[in-house]
Amino acid sequence: ASGGAQHAATSGPLLARVGGMDVVKRVVEAFYRKLYGNEKLLPFLHDRDIVYLRAKQSAFMSWLFGPPNVPYTGKHLRVAHLRIIKQRGFTPEDYELGMKYFEESMRELGAPEAIISEVLAKVRPFKDVIFTPCSRDAEEEA
Ligand code: HEM
């Protein structure tokens, strides 16, 4: 089979098990194609800088597929999505659709099921972070 991801080991760093940075890049590509290809999600994305967004997403994915127990140090994800939540009505259902696309992207690129579950478990907590009001909301609105 191509890619070799199907034959990945069952323990050790996720990134190696999924097939390396090359596979992660292809997951990001596929994820973006799906997001931008959905007319319900496009209004949240059409005026964003796709190069910036992809660079940020790649950094996030590198952390996601990276070694366990490393804290997330990127931009607060509620702050990153606050404008589309407040000004364009981005909902948890919209976000779920994005998560579904992310899962599909990993699966289509041949990531083993065990890795998909592990990665999804690591992403899942962000949904509450993104949709729960917090003290930093004021910062963003200022
Ligand atoms: C940033 C939209 C799903 C992670 C952003 C930004 C927008 C956006 C508009 C800000 C871009 C800017 O500042 O110019 C969306 C839409 C989604 C979605 C429409 C559809 C469901 C997700 C998902 C994740 C995610 C599922 C994964 C947890 C991120 C990250 C950033 C970001 C890491 C960059 C934060 C930074 O600036 O470092 N997103 N997003 N997004 N989003 Fe999403």
Domain regions of the chain by residue span: 14-141
Helices (H), the chain: 14-18, 21-36, 42-45, 50-64, 77-88, 92-108, 113-123, 125-131, 136-141
The pLDDT-based confidence of 9 (bands split at 50, 70, 90) is low
pLDDT tens, position by position, 103-128:
999 999 988 899 999 999 999 999 99
Q: Examine the pLDDT at 8 and tell me if it is beyond 90.
A: no
C-alpha dist (Å) from residue 79 to 7, 46, 114, 124: 38, 19, 31, 17
From 51, 65, 75, 81, the mutation candidate for ligand 1 (largest count of ligand atoms within 8 A of CB) is: 81
Type of residue at 11: S
Ligand 1 binding site (Cβ under 6 Å of any ligand atom) = 35, 41, 44-45, 48-49, 52-53, 56-57, 60, 74-75, 77, 80-81, 84, 94-95, 97-99, 102, 123, 126
Task: Choose which CATH entry (1.10.287.470, 3.40.1190.20, 1.25.50.10, 1.10.490.10) describes domain 14-141.
Answer: 1.10.490.10
Q: Examine the pLDDT at 7 and tell me if it is beyond 70.
A: no
pTM for this entry: 0.88
CA torsion sign for 21, 26, 29, 35 is negative
- The complex scores an ipTM of 0.93
